[in-house]
Each structure stands twice: as C-alpha cells, then as structure tokens.
Chain A
Amino acid sequence: MSIRVEHVSKSFSAYPALRDVSLTMNDREFVALLGPSGSGKTTLLRILAGLEAPESGSVWFGKRDVTGDKPASRGIGFVFQHYALFGHMTVAENIAFGLDVMRRSARPSKRDIAARVEQLLELVQLPGLGKRYPSQLSGGQRQRVALARALAREPRILLLDEPFGALDAKVRRELRVALRQIHDELGLTSIFVTHDQEEAFALADRVALLNQGRIEQFAAPAEMQSGPASAFVREFLD
C-alpha cells in the first residue's frame, strides 16, 4: 500500500509541529522518520494513524483519501512507544483484541481467532506465552506482543513510535532483525519513528530526516550519507 502525504501542517497551540510536509512512500517500503525531539516526526506518524488531525493537507493510502478517517478504518497497525499493552488481559487476549471487538458479522469464529493468535505468537517468536500477563514479561517480550497485537487484523501499513526506545542494546538488535524479517515476510509498508540514526540507517529503505516540522531530506541511507542536502543533515549525521 503506497502512502502519500500532501502539504500537511499541524500546530499545537501556536507551536508549529509540522509545516507543509509532503512525502510519498512506496508499497512495501520500510521508511524511517528520523530527527531530534521536537522535529515533528511523532506528530507525522500519529497523523498517518488518525490519532491526530492535520490542520491542512491530506493523507492518501493507495488511491483512498484517508484524511478524515478514524484509526480503526485505516487498515493500520500501531505499535506504541511504551507498548500500551492491556495489563488486565493475558498476552493471548491482548493479541486477539482487534479481532474480538469486530462487529459480529465480520468477526471470525473463536477457533479461528485462537489459531490466529498462535500463528502470531510464532511469528514474533513467543510460542506458548499466550496465558501470561504483560507484567510477567520482559521488555523485549512485551514489545513483541505489542507487534503481534498490531498485526492481528492484517494491516497493510505498520506504524511504530520509537518501538525500541526503552530496551537495552542487545535486545534492540534482536528486535530490529525480527522486525525487518516480519516486514519482508508479510509485505507490509512500514514507517517507524526514531531518534537513533544508526537504527534508522540499519533498518530503513529510505530515511526522512525532519527538523522543526520540515523534511530536510528524504532518501536512501547511502544517498544521504554521500550527498547530504543541507548543513543540518550533514551535522546530524556526524
């Protein structure tokens, strides 16, 4: 699913978070939104998700204008920075949530849902942990559950907000590999926000570097390194 952002602007009570941002991402691309804090990258991600509404501009998924659409109807999966797992539900219940709340007519049978949960647990390499509670898992495990939960409804687009921020270096590396693998396997279009340059360059096909609400450069890592588009880019990459 390709994504097109056209002239999107957004302010938070006089503070301009995004200024006339335009971007086109191709189907099955893995894009990183990189930048210092306050650059607007998380705001852009949340606008893509429908968690914030832009003041002007539009967002297109494929041929559909989704600018006014609710998050539920956009066909996205969202992974939050601190996982936002439902503490009172088991891992299996968390993952099944997106399917459990479907309208009766569209909802798969209990058996199908359970099978899907198992399938997803295998995908994120947490087989057999369905009955545990989030509080009983490690940070890395919780992140995997959050990922599995976001994938349950077979979204075409996966959005991740600093997904590895709270984890230690070794776990981050493992999860990075796992994420890329899942992205490739499922043919997703993925966009993830990070302030870590190394991570962005390791994972993404193309990187969008943001600064104070504008895109400084949007290119493949190699290209960005050999030909930085501005002084900011050059300094940021050092």
Chain B
Amino acid sequence: MASAPASRSTPLPGFGLSLGVTVLWLSLIVLIPLSAVFVRSGSEGWHNFWAAAGSSRALAAYRLSFGAAALAALINCIFGLLVAWVLVRYRFAGRRLLSALIDLPFALPTAVAGIALTALYADTGIIGRILEPAGFPVAYKPAGVVRTVEPVLAEASSEVEEAALTLGATRLQTFSRVILPTIVPALATGFALAFARGAGEYGSVIFIAGNVPFKSEIAPLLIITQLEEYSYAGAAAIACVMLLISFAVLLLLNLLQHWQQRRVG
C-alpha cells in the first residue's frame, strides 16, 4: 500500500517545519500585534471609538494625510511614467546611474529625508503651507511607480506600435491610444502603492510640516499625541481607521493586478 512520503506529492522535506515557522513568526510579529489595534480601539465602546476616530481634529488629519498622499501619488505617477519611459526606451550616458538612483528613496532613512528637506525648503517662503506636506511624500515615492511601470512598458510590444504607425497614427496618437491603455493597470498599481505609503508617511513630513492641529497635523502625528496623553483607545481608533483604508487600498491593488494580468496574459 502506498504511503505518501512527504506532503503534497513531492518528497522534498521540510514542508512542516518551514510552514510552521512561517505561520508562527507571522502570527507573533504581524497578526497578533495588528489585532491589538482593532481590539483596543473598540475597548471603550462604539461611542468613544467614534468620538476619537471621527473627531473634527481627526478628520482634519485624515484630510491632510490622505489628501497630500493622493496629490503626491498623482505627481509621482506622471513623473514616474516619464522616468520609466526614458529608462526603457532610450539609451543614453548615465542611464545606469539614473536607474540606480531611482531606488534611493528605499534606502534613505525618512528622518534624513525630513531634515534634508527642511534645509532646502524651510527658509524659502516659496513652498507654501499647502505644498509642505505634499512635497515630501512626493520625493520619496518615485521608485514605486517607476519600478511598477518599467517591466510593463518594456514588454509592450513594439510590433503593436509599428502596426499603429503603418496604419497612419501619429506618435501622439500611438502613445495615447495604443501604449497608454496597456500600461494603465501598472500605473494604477503604482498610484495605489504610492498612495498607501504616502498616507502613512511620518519621518519625512514632521520636520517640515507645521504640525498645528486642525491645520497641518498629519494623522500619524495625531496618533502619537494621543499616546502621549495616555489615550490608548483613542490612538488605536485612529490607527484603526488608517489600517482599514490601507487594507482597502491593498484590496484594490490586488484587483488591479488581476486586471493587469488579464490584459497582458
């Protein structure tokens, strides 16, 4: 009688151990701590939850954090597309360097970025109060959009482009009617990623933002303030709202990626 060697019809060992370690570590470090947010935020009852998460100060903070993130993500999409275009389709001196630099944001600590930007922009009154918080998330996300768009752009069949040209389309038409539609899913994914990151951005923003409640206070800062006032449930409530929005964006991302695969594959 057959006795299955290891799991799932392959004799490769280590399934139990590796999956066990994975699930254990995942639960301990990610799942249980995250659940603490949801549990704690509701611990003082719905009324208090809404009082904290829906207070006018909190709403102002959300508007700022998410609004700035949306604006930043949009700007990044445009410039990210530009950079991806240039990297993929042209050869020029310094291309490799440019490609390497795009990843700088991932390596640079947010606090360093934060004070660097104060050195650049604080003294000049040119960058207004509105742009302040938006300016910094902007800098720190281009890599997201570029890296998402690049592979799709690279694969976009040049045959299809050539077909469009032989059919009489101008370059601009070819771009807007043929190329752009192909990369829209990737762009949307890049936007969602940039938005999610920008909304939670802290280090690069607090140095230069005014941090005035109701006016220039970002949501993460509000959470910290609540913590400092020992209002754990209040902090958790706001964090809860932020998490839910992040997860919604994640879900959207997943759907977008499905869309992208259906288009391409």
Interface residues of A (CB under 8 A from B): 12, 50-58, 67-71
Name the one of A52, A57, A58, A68 contacting B10, with C-beta atoms under 8 angstroms: A52
Produce 1/0 per residue, B3-18, CB < 8 A to A.
1110001110000000
CA distance A56 to B5 in the complex (A): 13
Decide yes or no whether B1 CB sits under 8 A from chain A.
yes
- 27 residue pairs of the A-B complex, CB under 8 angstroms, read A12-B9, A50-B5, A50-B11, A51-B10, A51-B11, A52-B9, A52-B10, A53-B2, A53-B3, A53-B4, A53-B5, A53-B11, A54-B2, A55-B2, A56-B1, A56-B2, A57-B2, A58-B1, A58-B2, A67-B1, A67-B2, A67-B3, A68-B3, A68-B4, A68-B5, A69-B5, A70-B5
Q: What residues of chain A lie closer than 8 Å to B3, measured between beta carbons?
A: 53, 67-68
5 tightest A-B contacts by CB?
A68-B3, A53-B4, A54-B2, A67-B2, A52-B9
Chain B count of residues within 8 A CB distance of the other chain? 8
Number of A-B contacts (CB under 8 A): 31
A71 in contact with B2 (CB, 8 Å): no
Task: Specify the chain B residue showing the minimal Cβ separation from A49.
Answer: B11
Most chain B CB inside 10 Å of its own CB: which residue of A50, A56, A68, A71: A68
Q: What residues of chain B lie closer than 8 Å to A54, measured between beta carbons?
A: 2
Task: Specify the chain B residue showing the minimal Cβ separation from A71.
Answer: B11
CA distance A58 to B4 in the complex (A): 12
CA distance A109 to B1 in the complex (A): 39
CA distance A7 to B1 in the complex (A): 11
Q: What residues of chain B lie closer than 8 Å to A12, measured between beta carbons?
A: 9
B9 in contact with A53 (CB, 8 Å): yes
Q: What residues of chain A lie closer than 8 Å to B1, measured between beta carbons?
A: 56, 58, 67
Q: What residues of chain A lie closer than 8 Å to B9, measured between beta carbons?
A: 12, 52-53
CA distance A70 to B12 in the complex (A): 10
Whole-angstrom distance between the Cβ of B115 and the nearest chain A Cβ: 44
**12 other contacts beyond A51-B11, A53-B2, A58-B1, with CB at 8 A cut-off?**
A50-B5, A52-B9, A53-B3, A53-B9, A53-B11, A56-B1, A57-B2, A58-B2, A67-B1, A68-B2, A68-B5, A70-B11
Whole-angstrom distance between the Cβ of B199 and the nearest chain A Cβ: 40
For window 1-43 of B, CB contacts with A under 8 Å fall at: 1-5, 9-11
Produce 1/0 per residue, B57-76, CB < 8 A to A.
00000000000000000000
CA distance A235 to B23 in the complex (A): 52
Task: Specify the chain B residue showing the minimal Cβ separation from A55.
Answer: B2
Whole-angstrom distance between the Cβ of A12 and the nearest chain B Cβ: 8
Most chain B CB inside 10 Å of its own CB: which residue of A50, A52, A56, A58: A52
CA distance A57 to B10 in the complex (A): 17
Q: What residues of chain B lie closer than 8 Å to A57, measured between beta carbons?
A: 2
Whole-angstrom distance between the Cβ of B16 and the nearest chain A Cβ: 16
CA distance A53 to B8 in the complex (A): 9
Most chain A CB inside 10 Å of its own CB: which residue of B2, B4, B5, B11: B2
Task: Specify the chain B residue showing the minimal Cβ separation from A68.
Answer: B3
Most chain B CB inside 10 Å of its own CB: which residue of A53, A55, A58: A53
CA distance A14 to B10 in the complex (A): 17
Q: What residues of chain A lie closer than 8 Å to B10, measured between beta carbons?
A: 51-52
Q: What residues of chain A lie closer than 8 Å to B4, measured between beta carbons?
A: 53, 68
Whole-angstrom distance between the Cβ of A41 and the nearest chain B Cβ: 17
CA distance A230 to B80 in the complex (A): 63
Q: What residues of chain B lie closer than 8 Å to A71, measured between beta carbons?
A: 11
CA distance A55 to B3 in the complex (A): 8
Q: What residues of chain A lie closer than 8 Å to B5, measured between beta carbons?
A: 50, 53, 68-70
Q: What residues of chain A lie closer than 8 Å to B11, measured between beta carbons?
A: 50-51, 53, 70-71
Task: Specify the chain B residue showing the minimal Cβ separation from A65.
Answer: B1
For window 233-263 of B, CB contacts with A under 8 Å fall at: none
Whole-angstrom distance between the Cβ of A183 and the nearest chain B Cβ: 26
CA distance A70 to B11 in the complex (A): 7
Q: What residues of chain B lie closer than 8 Å to A56, measured between beta carbons?
A: 1-2
Q: What residues of chain A lie closer than 8 Å to B2, measured between beta carbons?
A: 53-58, 67-68
CA distance A53 to B5 in the complex (A): 7
CA distance A55 to B8 in the complex (A): 11
Whole-angstrom distance between the Cβ of B15 and the nearest chain A Cβ: 14
CA distance A50 to B1 in the complex (A): 14
CA distance A53 to B6 in the complex (A): 9
Q: What residues of chain B lie closer than 8 Å to A70, measured between beta carbons?
A: 5, 11
